[in-house]
A and B are shown apart, each in its own frame.
Chain A
Amino acid sequence: MFYRETGQFKSKYKEELAAFPLAEDKVGIAILLVIAYVFIPIFGIPGLSFEFTMGAIMIPVFIFTITTLGLNILLGFAGQISLGTGAFMGVGAYSCYKIMTIFPDLNIIICVILSGFVTAIVGMIFGLPSLKIKGFYLIVATLAAQFFLEWAFIRVAWLYNYNDSGGIEGTNKEMFGLIVSGPQSDALTRYFIVLTLLVLLTWLASNVIRGRIGRSWMMIRDMDIAAELIGVRPLTAKLSAFAFSSFYIGISGALMVFFWLGAAEVESFDVSHSFTYLFMVIIGGLGSITGSYMGAALVWVIPVLIKEIGKTAFGFDAFVMENFSIIFLGVAIVVILIVEPHGLARLWQITKQKLRLWPFPY
């Protein structure tokens, strides 16, 4: 009986409508925040080097969690599928690059957020077909968006300032006298920035999905005809979902380049990445914020760890381990989907349910 609802009566609806009505959940979140803000920066992950912990695990996982949240808003909450996530991250990255070129003195966090807005607008435009088509046809339309954008990232040289490499690259950016982005920035600084944005964006997303707008998305997802007869305008609901989702995806794309990779080319935004993000959402659990975290972490960390262990413990070369981790991930996806089609989030729910009754079986 570690986890219990009984005995925690809500005297006001307002309390019940809070983000985490259960005391145990509040404690859990507080513990996670302390781990993320204090323990990992001080102690790292046991057995892994600090550099590896930050650069190969924590920062990318946080960034891809933002991506997964974004895609989950669209797919899990609004029921609109997209295979253009990779390219939408590209929109975020390239627009951040252009904004930084045009306004060199603008705070980089503001640049990142503005690039989220640019991506939201682009996402809304490419979301227009969803007003007429559904399911398989929508997949094809978003795939077309993916390829069109990839083409633009190569052909429109203006996007990468006509440089010879054809890619975009971050320069040192300061904030309050501290280098926060670029080659000379400290991993820990970037870690805190990405973490803080993730926490904020998670909070905003959980607010939106529990309110009027989030409900309008789920109504369209579950039964679009009834939604319309109740007064939801499909145009508003669908396009706002595309916009909000793309906002997250765009921010994650900008963060990926300017707070993690340092530089990128079109390959970082190709369709195979779109699939990876889709796996993160599906494995984590459609329509679940917790699941977005779990999916992004699992799909990213397992291959990285396999590669690392293979290299250091067994001396396999990187190419072999690359393939091995792809196979492993594929098998993991199939197994998880067979065991629990609703993803890791549902497994977590079931565990919580058990903890509620523990030590009694029923």
Chain B
Amino acid sequence: MSEKNSVIMEVKNINLRFGGVIAIQNVSFNIFEGEIRAIIGPNGAGKSSMLNVINGFYHPQEGEVWFNGEKRPSMEPYQIAKTGIARTFQNIALFKGMTTIENVMTGRQLKMNKNFFWQMLRYGPAIDEEVQHRRRCEEIIDFLEINHIRKTPVGSLPYGLQKRVELARALAMDPKILLLDEPMAGMNVEEKQDMSRFIIDVNEEFGTTIALIEHDMAVVMDLADRVVVLDYGKLLADGTPAEVQSNQAVIDAYLGVPH
């Protein structure tokens, strides 16, 4: 793991409202390069909204997002994807009509640029590019152990595997920061262990910075280097798993609530 003290991403005083609903209220925290950062909190705390702010899908009314030491101007999601932010979704958002390998290949979309002419001929530069990116995707597929379902349409896969394909697709973007929205929701213990192992491997082998939302506290305590706790859109605590776990406000607001 790389040195964990340089800030790669920082959100400052984020305020996000939907009409009368205040989803995020004056939240600030940072993410170090190479760390696994967990975001936890009860349902409706604003966790997913926070990820949506980070990858540009939601535009907060107030606040700043700093990335790589620069204040990020207002951008469209597809532009933000270019800067190296990838994510998975709380409700799986795979391309249902495509196979596993095709889904993973979509992660390379931004790195491919051969024009319509070559695409039509599927020859020369276009096919070279396709082969080169295909190779990387096959590596990721090997890495996540989803070889056996390469050619399967993702719509017919069980839930746990779909989550894994989604991770593969995000990894195919070679992201600097990977945002995972409840990657283990709805999984059994064994699937959760597999997924935890993959997350750690991604972090260690590729050096990818990871921000993840997770409800399972045992998992969070195992995986995360640092934890942000949100509650009703407000920042409740921020620190190492041990610090957060012993924080009285967190115990009252969150750990006391059964999940």
Residues on A lying within 8 angstroms of B by beta carbon are 12-14, 17, 19, 204, 207-208, 210-216, 218-219, 221-223, 225-234, 240, 244, 287
Which B84-113 residues have C-beta < 8 A from chain A?
86-87, 89, 93-98, 102, 105-107, 109-110, 112
**In the complex, which residue of chain B has the Cβ closest to the Cβ of A286?**
B97
Contact B105 A215 (CB under 8 A): yes
CB neighbours of A208 from chain B (8 A): 116, 119-120, 122
CB neighbours of A240 from chain B (8 A): 116
Q: Give Cα A214–Cα B95 distance, bound, in whole angstroms.
A: 13
B199 at the interface (CB under 8 A from A): no
Interface centre among B77, B86, B107 (most CB of A within 10 A): B77
Contact B116 A231 (CB under 8 A): no
Q: Give Cα A240–Cα B120 distance, bound, in whole angstroms.
A: 13
Q: Give Cα A234–Cα B107 distance, bound, in whole angstroms.
A: 16
Report the interface size for chain B: residues with CB under 8 A from the other chain: 39
**In the complex, which residue of chain B has the Cβ closest to the Cβ of A210?**
B122
**In the complex, which residue of chain B has the Cβ closest to the Cβ of A204?**
B120
Least distance between B61 CB and chain A CB atoms (Å): 21
Least distance between B177 CB and chain A CB atoms (Å): 13
Q: Which of B96, B129, B131 contacts A222 (CB 8 A)?
A: B96
Least distance between B132 CB and chain A CB atoms (Å): 9
Contact B110 A230 (CB under 8 A): yes
Closest 10 CB pairs of A and B: A231-B81, A207-B122, A222-B95, A226-B93, A231-B110, A211-B119, A212-B112, A204-B120, A13-B134, A228-B77
Contact B119 A212 (CB under 8 A): yes
Contact A228 B78 (CB under 8 A): yes
Contact B93 A219 (CB under 8 A): no
Contact B81 A226 (CB under 8 A): no
Q: Which of B109, B120, B134 contacts A230 (CB 8 A)?
A: B109
Q: With contacts defined as CB atoms under 8 Å apart, how many contacts are there between chain A and chain B in the complex?
A: 100
B173 at the interface (CB under 8 A from A): yes
Q: Which of A204, A213, A215, A229 contacts B55 (CB 8 A)?
A: A229
**In the complex, which residue of chain A has the Cβ closest to the Cβ of B55?**
A229
Q: Give Cα A142–Cα B57 distance, bound, in whole angstroms.
A: 29
Q: Give Cα A32–Cα B22 distance, bound, in whole angstroms.
A: 63
| Chain A proximity mask over B112-126: 1 for CB below 8 Å, otherwise 0 | 101010011110001
Residues on B lying within 8 angstroms of A by beta carbon are 55, 57, 76-78, 81-82, 86-87, 89, 93-98, 102, 105-107, 109-110, 112, 114, 116, 119-122, 126-127, 129-131, 134-135, 138, 169, 173
Q: Give Cα A214–Cα B109 distance, bound, in whole angstroms.
A: 11
Least distance between B129 CB and chain A CB atoms (Å): 8
Q: Which of B95, B119, B173 contacts A226 (CB 8 A)?
A: B95
**What are 14 A-B contacts defined by CB distance under 8 Å?**
A14-B127, A211-B122, A212-B129, A215-B109, A222-B94, A226-B95, A227-B106, A228-B77, A229-B77, A230-B81, A230-B106, A230-B169, A231-B78, A231-B173
CB neighbours of B138 from chain A (8 A): 13
Q: Give Cα A204–Cα B121 distance, bound, in whole angstroms.
A: 6
Least distance between A127 CB and chain B CB atoms (Å): 16
Q: A208-B119, A229-B77, A230-B173 are in contact. Are A219 and B95 (CB under 8 A)?
A: yes
**In the complex, which residue of chain A has the Cβ closest to the Cβ of B96?**
A222
CB neighbours of A214 from chain B (8 A): 119
Interface centre among A19, A223, A230 (most CB of B within 10 A): A230
CB neighbours of A229 from chain B (8 A): 55, 57, 77-78, 81, 87
Q: A212-B112, A223-B93, A231-B82 are in contact. Are A13 and B131 (CB under 8 A)?
A: yes
Interface centre among A17, A208, A216, A226 (most CB of B within 10 A): A226
